[in-house]
Amino acid sequence: PKYFINSAAYTNVDAAEKNNKESEAVNANGPKYIAKYLKEINSHLIHISTDYVFDGKKNNPYLESDETNPISNYGKTKLLGEHNIIENMKNFNIYRVSWLFGHKKSNFIYKILDKSKKQDNLNIVDDQFGLPTSAYDFSEFIWFTISKLYEKKMNPGIFHFSNKGDAISWYQYALIIFDIAQKYGIKKPNITPINSNDLKLIARRPKYSALNSSKIFNEIKYKHRDW
């Protein structure tokens, strides 16, 4: 292939704390072997990374030039995957994305909609902030950038991608989701904001992980939608 899109990842953040070998095999070693092979056949790698390479200590959207400092095994293995690509080939585009949502069931929207069918009360954290990103918009963006790479109108490198809009908490996100869902006959549960420490999650999450996408959009003049 002239272009190779690697969307494979071990994305269960909590399970990655217990199954670090599996997470490292998929998120770190997989990209290394792909990069080595694609270099041999002179192919270009499109690799999908994550906002979790940052520690969340900023209060404004992260730039590509900001220092990485992952606080979970998931984030560490994803960052190692980035390094393995950079060390083994030159023709790559690494896209960091955050809070992906789409028609597949394994995302926040479907999870809370499903929970609302069984529970009248939902507790949602209000101390973690990010930018929701449409998987559909992201896939459209990938195809667009491949055309730009083919035309030699875009440079390789690491880029951030997210939809436009303000960073929000998971709690705020849930309120918006159910405001829309009610229009389709879905009952809105009682939603209570809680601290992330109350959930006693295995892996730590960054408190703030919104991504600044201005670098890529300034370079290729791409119009993207508000989340």
Return the H-helix or E-strand segment holding 192: strand 190-194
Please say whether the beta carbons of 75 and 23 come within 8 A. Answer: no
Per the residue annotation, which of 10, 62, 74, 173 is the catalytic one?
Answer: 74
String of DSSP letters for 110-177? HHHHHHHHH-SEEEEESS-EE--EEHHHHHHHHHHHHHHHHTT-S--EEEEE--BS--EEHHHHHHHH
Quote the CA–CA distance of 177 and 191 in Å, as a whole number: 11
Distances (CA, A) of 190 to 104, 121, 172, 185: 25, 5, 13, 16
Q: With the CA atoms of 182, 184, 185 and 187 taken in that order, what torsion angle do they form, in degrees rounded to the nearest 10?
A: -30
Look up 74 and say whether it is catalytic: yes
Distances (CA, A) of 35 to 74, 106, 153, 203: 20, 27, 22, 29
CA nearest neighbour of 191 among 88, 119, 122, 140: 122
**Active site (catalytic) residues:** 74
